[in-house]
Amino acid sequence: MHASNPSSPSRHSRCARVVIVSVLLAALCSSAWAQRKSNSDLTPPARRATTVELATRLAATSEIPRLPAKSVNPFSPASWDAPDPDEQRLAFDAAENARRAGLATQSRPQRSALASVANAIQPSGVVLMGGQPTLLIRGRRVRVGDALSATFEGRAYTVTITAITRDSFTLRMNGEELTRPIKSGTKP
């Protein structure tokens, strides 16, 4: 048997050839990579010019012509807040029929009657029950929406609690509303 020498010339020449081929391949690939055209997401300036021109035309603002002074605005006509003629006629007829029937008109305007009734209601405080404010009036618990009856100057009135805060309450009677403070029973 013949012993082989690890440092033989044929083995060195084979390693040298592999290194040289690898270096040449690396150089060839790097030059090809460098010469490769880069792909950009942007279109070339010549092709972008038409899009930019269209965008400029679309973004341009033009002067809006003024409306004539006598034109009517359809979104806010002059007669919007005017009373309805049918409602006015019905209200007049009802007042005339009440006058003919001899019905006495109210001796007190609604607002002042509500104020008098509200002054007669003396709440002792407010508590939160179930997350809702509750007004305490002479041991009775009253919530928003509850009705209270009161007599003032010989007439019975019914008022509704519409709001309760920690320091005030609001009453409603016949479409009129009035907010009153809640006064604590202690004096500082």
- Kindly list the structural domains of the chain, giving each domain's residue range(s) and its CATH number in brackets, ordered by start: 110-181 (2.30.30)
Question: What pLDDT, on the 0 to 100 scale, is given for residue 167?
Answer: 85
Please give the Cα distance from 174 to 157 (Å, whole number): 10
Instruction: Confirm whether pTM is higher than 0.75.
Output: no
Question: What pLDDT, on the 0 to 100 scale, is given for residue 55?
Answer: 92
Q: Would you call 82 helix, strand, or coil by DSSP?
A: coil
pLDDT tens for the chain, 188 residues long, are 455 555 556 666 778 888 888 888 887 777 666 656 566 777 888 888 998 999 999 998 888 888 788 887 777 766 666 777 787 788 888 878 877 776 545 445 667 778 888 888 888 888 888 888 888 888 888 889 988 887 777 778 888 888 888 888 888 888 788 888 887 655 44
SS (H, E, C) 33-64: HHHCCCCCCCCCHHHHHHHHHHHHHHHCCCCC
Question: What pLDDT, on the 0 to 100 scale, is given for residue 56?
Answer: 92
The sheet carrying 155-164 orders its strands as 147-152, 155-164, 168-173, 176-181
Longest dimension (CA), the chain: 148
Which residues sit opposite 169 in a β-bridge?
164, 180
CB atoms near residue 168 (< 10 Å): 13
Question: What pLDDT, on the 0 to 100 scale, is given for residue 45?
Answer: 85
Question: What pLDDT, on the 0 to 100 scale, is given for residue 22?
Answer: 84
